[in-house]
Structure formats: structure tokens, C-alpha cells
Amino acid sequence: MDQYRYFIFNQRKMVVLGLLQVAFSTVCVVSGFIDGVFRAESELSKTRAPIWAGMVMGIPGVLALFSSQRKNPILVTAVIIASVISCATIFIVMVYSSLTLNYGEEELNHLPLHTVHTKYVLHRVVKGANIVMLIASVCSALVLLVIAYLGCQSLPYCSCYDSTTGMVSEE
């Protein structure tokens, strides 16, 4: 009887959440690219952490899209594991963007006027990219938690599962 259980998985919600996660991942990669191009060279900026973390952040979104089409418990388990790993990379992006919010305004005092204006504009672009990375990371963490929660609810060994009928108990 276990092999004929009804697999509980809300396809519409998972498609929307998967698309949101891929979008937040793309925002993080683009903002990390902007940060890497316009930032003054430092040891922290050479790591390109937001770009790599943004790519890892996209994996649960893609897996969520696949799992919404194929009702497979192994794929849902992979989504849950990828969501947890992606939460760790989100923490890395948050720490990186928090540490690098200051672009280096103290270096602008002794430069010619046109150079100071260019550096000021680049400072604002990099600061904006870091703020966008922080916002995208927080939103992505929330989406990942919802993806993991929905994934955990849909697995056959979930506590909300009725072992006789295979349906969700409405308690």
C-alpha cells in the first residue's frame, strides 16, 4: 500500500517559489558582478563570493521547478538538502555585503575633481549593489525556508501523513 501513496505537493506554489528563488539568485549574481567590476581591489573582493554563492542559491530554485513537475520523493529530498546548503551560502553573501558596504570614501580627498566625481558615482553604484544583495539574500532565505517547509510536508514520512490512506490529516 505504501507504494501507492498520494504524494502531496502543491505544484503551483512550488513553481512560483522556484521562479522567485531563481530570480533572487540572478539578482545576487548580477549585483556581485557589478560589485566585482567597480570595486577597488582588495583581498575580500578578489574572492567573488557573491557570484559563486548566487549560483549555488539558484540550485534549489531549479530543483523546485523540476520537483513540481515530477512527483518524486527523492527529488523533493534533494530540494530540501539544497535549500539548507543554500541558506549557508546566503549567510556568506550577507556577511560579504555587510563587510563591503564601505567602498573607500577616505581615498577620495586627495584626487582631482573629475576623478573624485567618478569615484563618488562608483561608490554609490557599489553601495547600491551591496544593498540589493542584502535585500535579495533576505528574501531568498525566506523563500528557501518556505520551499523546505513545503518539501518536508510532502514527504511520505512526514507526521501529517496518514499511513493507511496516504492522505493529509486535516487536524
Asked if residue 142 is part of any domain, the answer here is yes
| 3-class DSSP state of 161 | strand
pLDDT for residue 76 is more than 70: yes
Domain extent for 56: 1-38+48-154
pLDDT for residue 1 is more than 80: no
**CB-based contacts of 33, cutoff 8 Å, min separation 6:** 51
pTM recorded for the entire structure: 0.76
DSSP structure string for 17-42: HHHHHHHHHHHHHHHHHHHHHHSPP-
Asked whether 133 and 49 are in contact (CB, 8 A), the reply is no
CA dist 145 and 140 (Å) reads: 9
Q: What is the model's pLDDT at position 136?
A: 92
Q: What is the model's pLDDT at position 5?
A: 44
The domain total for the chain is 1
Name the grid cell of 124. Answer: 554609490
Averaged pLDDT, 22-39: 87
Asked if residue 162 is part of any domain, the answer here is no
pLDDT, tens digit, 9 for 90 and up, residues 140-153: 999 999 988 888 87
Asked if residue 169 is part of any domain, the answer here is no
Q: How big is the chain by its Cα radius of gyration, in Å?
A: 21
pLDDT, tens digit, 9 for 90 and up, residues 99-144: 877 654 444 445 555 555 566 666 777 788 889 999 999 999 999 9
Asked if residue 79 is part of any domain, the answer here is yes
